Amino acid sequence: MVAATTRLDRTSRAARTPIALSFAFCLILLSLGIKQLEWQGLTSQFRCTVPNWEWNLSTSSDTLSGISRLKRKVRIGRRIGRVKERFSMKVALPSRTPRSKEWTTSVGEVASYRNMGDLLSRRRAPRILVVDDQASIAGLMSQLLTIRGYDVVTASSADQAEEEVRRRTPDLILSDVMMPGKSGYDFCRTMKENPATRLIPFVLITGLSDSSDKVRGIEAGADDFLNKPVLAEELIARVKSLLRLKEFTDELETADSVLCTLGLIVEGRDPYTEGHCERLSAHASELGRHLGMDEDSILALKRGGYLHDLGKIAVPDEILKKGSDLTPAEWEVMKLHPITGENICKPLHSLRPVLPIIRYHHEHSDGSGYPDGLLAADIPVLPRVLQVVDVYDALRTARSYKPALSHEQAAQTMREEASRGLWDAELVAEYFSLLEAKRQVA
């Protein structure tokens, strides 16, 4: 333990208040990065105690495993008399351990993965977009939020705000209702109708008190409301609450992205299927739009393109790359991959619409498919849509067991197989109608 003590004795005027001196040293402590102070005051004694605080330390030559947490405790005690004034400061630091021990994640208290996560999660301040045509109100809210550590940007109109969203997506939007041009209701509706921005929390700030105005805001998709004049305490409380929900949403989206990446990794195990997931995701969602499906179904098809064969992660390479000459035992292993993929994705609520695609995309209309042997009427529509696109892409690309077919050959093969009860004949016809329309435009 290393300790350093500094003392300062000097004559002071009797009229000098101990509060002023205490305040000055608090400012010094704050400038050093100490953010919390506890005060205790007595008639002739003032004491300022700074509780334990910690920070992360890293150098340019260190990796994430070299992030260390240190502790520092500072105590300031002073006793002030009528003529004499003495200031005593004691700083105690933990003694430095050898580098080989200090900079390792095997020492739980010094460097842990939990601390790494804390450091990474604090790298970016939440970004808040404030929209109000009155510069004074926008500036006041910006100041209130900025001093609390938020990254705030302002806009004076809905059009300017939309441009700002395109430039850099915010984590939260605070918007006035009555503005020149597009109103706050219209701006909110625009954000909520766009799949890329609909999960951004949107707060409408209004001086209107009629219940019909709030109903209109709810119909536009607003997540919360603030009434003018805005109280600072209420503003900060609402912001914290909505940003916490946004953080949870982002974590779920990150989990989805990780699983989609795993799908690409599974695809990468077979050199013949390179690019299959991206094509399937794009073409299945395109067919969904052609059929007039809603945005949630289109999103499920897009995700299903990446996740439909995720369960193959549990299939050994010697089976996965063997092709069509599988033994009965190997075929039983292969037929389990839809169930495995479903079980991997099942814990995520956001992927529930994708689960039927993962499980049923190898079912056949005549009941000869796997894993459940469903008939046409029992197979949900989303797996049937993705299945048509999947079969076409498989026919059009070379595999280890077959050459690639031309478009005409693939069309003839799929129509014949649909007539035998393997695929949905109506969806096959719709898909080739879509392809033909695209070829004519090109």
User: Which pLDDT score is estimated for 55?
Assistant: 31
User: Which pLDDT score is estimated for 392?
Assistant: 96
User: Which pLDDT score is estimated for 379?
Assistant: 96
User: Which pLDDT score is estimated for 166?
Assistant: 93
For the chain, what is the HEC assignment? CEEEEEEEEEECCCCCCHHHHHHHHHHHHHHCCCCCCEEEECCCEEEEEEEEEEEEECCCCCCHHHCEEEEEEEEEEEEECCCEEEEEEEEEECCCCCHHHHCCCCCCCCCCHHHHHHHHHCCCCCEEEEECCCHHHHHHHHHHHHCCCCEEEEECCHHHHHHHHHHCCCCEEEEECCCCCCCHHHHHHHHHHCCCCCCCCEEEEECCCCHHHHHHHHHHCCCEEEECCCCHHHHHHHHHHHHHHHHHHHHHHHHHHHHHHHHHHHHHCCHHHCCHHHHHHHHHHHHHHHCCCCHHHHHHHHHHHHHCCHHHHHCCHHHHCCCCCCCHHHHHHHCCHHHHHHHHHCCCHHHHHHHHHHHHCCCCCECCCCCCCCEHHHCCHHHHHHHHHHHHHHHHCCECCECCCCHHHHHHHHHHHHHCCCCCHHHHHHHHHHHHHHHHHC
How far apart are the C-alpha atoms of 397 and 414, rounded to whole Å?
14
pTM: 0.54
pLDDT, averaged in runs of 10, over the chain (442 residues): 35 40 44 42 37 34 30 32 34 39 36 39 77 92 92 94 93 92 92 88 84 85 88 90 84 71 77 83 96 93 93 88 83 94 87 94 95 94 97 90 91 95 95 92 74
User: Which pLDDT score is estimated for 254?
Assistant: 67
